[in-house]
C-alpha cells in the first residue's frame, strides 16, 4: 500500500469517531461482569474487534459512496460533518477504501458467526440486522427518513449493548435492553444534528433524511424529544436503583442538550457558528454512556 493510499484510508476511517464503539460496548460488558462476576478477556477482545470492524466498514463505505456520488465535492467540511475529504485529496485510493470496507465487514461477520455458533443463536438476528445496516446505510437507508433517523441508535444501542452482554453471558436480560435505550436516543441525535449542515448537498445526490424531508424546526423538535427520552430513561434507571447517581449527573445530558438545541436553533444554516454545538453534542454522546457504565450496580 502506497503512502497516499494509507493516508486516504486513515482519513476515511474517521478514527476519532470509532471511540463511540468501545464506549457503547462497555455498557453491555459492565453489566455482564456484574451479572456473572467474570468477563472472558479473549471474548471481550473479539467483541471489540467485531464492533470496531463494523463501525470502520460503514465509515469506509460511506466515504467511498460520497466520493462516487459527487457529494464529497458539495459538502462544507467540519470536524463533525461533511465527510473526511480523504478521497478528494487522494482519489487514486478509491478502490483501496472500498477493499478495506469489505474486509472490515467480513471480519465483523466472521466474528459474529463465531459467537452465534459458540454462544447463542439469539445473536444471529442482532448480527444480521447490524450487517444490513453497514451495507445499506449510505445508499439505501439515507433515502428513508424515519429509518435513517433510528438506524444509528439501533446499531450503537440494542445491537452493540445487548449483543455484547449476550455474547459474554449467553443470556438475555431486559434490563440491558432498557440501558441500551440511552445510546439509542443519543446516537440518533448525534447523527441527526450532524446532518443539518449537509441538507442542501445531501438533497442534490438523492438523500432524503429527516432534515431534508421535514426541515430544521421538525428536526430540532425530534432532537428535543430524544433528549427528553434520554433523561427520562436515566431517571427511571436511577429510580429502580439500576444506576447510582450520588451527585446528580443524570441531569447533565439534559442541560447540555438544551444548550445545543438553543444554539442550533439560533444559528440555522450558519455552519461555522454551528460547530461548537456539534462538538458539545458529540461530547455528551460520548460521556453519558461512560458515566452510565460507571454508575451501574
Name which of 280, 289, 291, 229 is nearest 257 in CA terms: 280
pLDDT of residue 80: 84
Q: Provide the 3-class DSSP secondary structure of residue 133.
A: helix
**Does the structure show a pLDDT above 80 at 123?**
yes
pLDDT of residue 297: 65
pLDDT of residue 269: 85
CA separation for the pair 291, 245 (Å, rounded): 9
pLDDT of residue 97: 96
If one compares 264 and 84, the residue with the highest pLDDT of the two is 264
**Does the structure show a pLDDT above 70 at 278?**
yes
Name which of 122, 123, 165, 157 is nearest 28 in CA terms: 165
Domains of the chain, by residue range, sit at: 3-295
Query: What's the average model confidence in pLDDT over 244-268?
Result: 91
Strand partners, 296: 243
Output the pTM of the full model.
Answer: 0.95
Model confidence over 87-116: pLDDT tens digits?
999 999 999 999 999 999 999 999 999 999
Confidence of residue 295 (pLDDT cuts 50, 70, 90): confident
CA separation for the pair 198, 191 (Å, rounded): 11
Mean pLDDT of the chain: 94
Here the cell at position 56 is 470502520
With 0-12 CB in 10 A as exposed, 13-18 as middle and 19+ as buried, what is 180? buried
Beta carbons of 263 and 284 less than 8 angstroms apart: no
pLDDT of residue 248: 83
Percent of the chain with pLDDT over 90: 85
Interhelix angle 123-136/145-154, rounded to 10 degrees, is 130
Model confidence over 54-81: pLDDT tens digits?
999 999 999 999 999 999 888 888 888 8
CA separation for the pair 161, 184 (Å, rounded): 10
Query: What's the average model confidence in pLDDT over 230-256?
Result: 90
Confidence of residue 85 (pLDDT cuts 50, 70, 90): confident
Model confidence over 124-154: pLDDT tens digits?
999 999 999 999 998 899 999 999 999 999 9
Beta carbons of 212 and 202 less than 8 angstroms apart: yes
Please give the distance of CA 82 from its chain centroid, rounded to a whole number: 16
Amino acid at each position: 500500500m502506497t503512502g497516499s493510499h494509507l493516508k486516504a484510508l486513515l482519513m476515511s476511517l474517521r478514527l476519532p469517531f470509532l471511540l463511540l464503539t468501545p464506549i457503547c460496548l462497555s455498557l453491555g460488558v459492565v453489566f455482564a461482569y456484574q451479572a456473572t462476576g467474570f468477563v472472558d478477556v479473549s471474548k471481550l477482545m473479539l467483541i471489540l474487534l467485531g464492533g470496531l470492524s463494523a463501525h470502520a466498514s460503514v465509515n469506509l463505505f460511506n466515504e467511498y459512496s460520497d466520493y462516487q456520488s459527487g457529494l464529497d465535492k458539495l459538502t462544507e467540511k467540519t470536524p463533525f460533518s461533511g465527510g473526511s475529504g480523504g478521497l478528494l485529496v487522494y482519489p487514486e485510493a478509491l478502490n483501496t477504501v472500498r477493499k478495506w470496507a469489505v474486509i472490515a465487514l467480513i471480519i465483523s461477520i466472521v466474528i459474529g458467526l463465531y459467537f452465534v455458533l459458540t454462544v447463542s443463536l439469539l445473536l444471529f438476528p442482532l448480527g444480521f440486522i447490524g450487517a444490513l445496516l453497514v451495507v445499506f446505510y449510505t445508499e439505501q437507508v439515507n433515502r428513508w427518513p424515519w429509518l435513517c433517523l433510528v438506524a444509528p441508535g439501533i446499531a450503537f444501542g440494542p445491537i452493540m449493548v445487548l449483543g455484547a452482554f449476550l455474547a459474554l453471558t449467553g443470556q438475555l436480560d431486559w434490563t440491558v435492553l432498557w440501558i441500551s435505550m440511552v445510546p439509542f436516543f443519543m446516537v440518533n441525535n448525534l447523527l441527526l444534528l450532524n446532518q443539518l449542515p449537509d441538507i442542501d448537498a445531501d438533497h442534490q445526490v438523492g438523500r432524503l433524511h429527516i432534515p431534508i424531508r421535514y426541515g430544521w424546526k421538525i428536526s430540532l423538535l425530534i432532537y428535543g424529544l430524544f433528549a427528553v427520552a434520554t433523561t427520562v430513561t436515566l431517571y427511571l434507571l436511577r429510580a429502580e436503583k439500576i444506576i447510582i447517581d450520588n451527585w446528580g449527573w443524570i441531569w447533565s445530558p439534559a442541560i447540555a442538550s438544551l444548550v445545543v438545541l438553543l444554539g442550533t436553533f439560533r444559528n440555522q444554516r450558519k455552519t461555522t457558528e454551528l460547530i461548537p454545538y456539534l462538538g458539545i453534542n458529540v461530547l455528551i454522546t460520548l460521556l453519558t454512556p461512560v458515566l452510565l457504565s460507571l454508575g451501574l450496580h
